[in-house]
Amino acid sequence: MRRPLRLLIWFLAAVALVIVVVIVSQTLIRPNVSNPVERIEYSQYQAVPDYDDTTYTVTSGPRIAAFDRLVTKYRVDVADFNNAENDGCTGGLATSVTLYTAGNRMQKLNLYSCRGPKARGDFVADATALFSRWHTEDAKAAAAH
């Protein structure tokens, strides 16, 4: 009778340990926490005449924080971005993003949105809208110089 009780206790302890590990990994480990983004380079492309596909560089803390909020909100692992999240179409708005983290590590993301720069509701749509706003502001600033 003692042996089955001892096995049950070991089994319950193992289950409890697995539950704790899963909870900790889901709530505490977030992308970019240990390697914060220091610089973002991005460009956008759309198949329309004279579309500005210039690569812009972002080092502004508030802009980087805005991108980080999207990553956190949608729990995106930028080191392993799932391209299946992109819209499957032709003729949409493409955004090429390169993130530079501490130690000058680089991570590339390619976002494709068919819903335009005003769509909302998922990481690809919200990130496309964010980069589109920046693109408009940065293109105006570049033209003013």
Domain map (residue ranges) of the chain: 1-30, 37-144
Q: Can you read off the two tokens belonging to residue 11?
A: 């089994």
Average pLDDT over residues 102-115: 86
What's the N-to-C CA distance of the chain in angstroms?
84
pLDDT at 16 over 90: no
Q: Can you read off the two tokens belonging to residue 107?
A: 């991570």
Q: How confident is the model at residue 83 (pLDDT cuts 50, 70, 90)?
A: confident
Q: Can you read off the two tokens belonging to residue 83?
A: 């391209």
Q: Are 94 and 131 in contact (CB under 8 A)?
A: no
pTM, 2 dp? 0.71
Q: What is the mean pLDDT of the chain?
A: 82
CA atoms of 35 and 3, how far apart (whole Å):
48
CA atoms of 60 and 80, how far apart (whole Å):
24
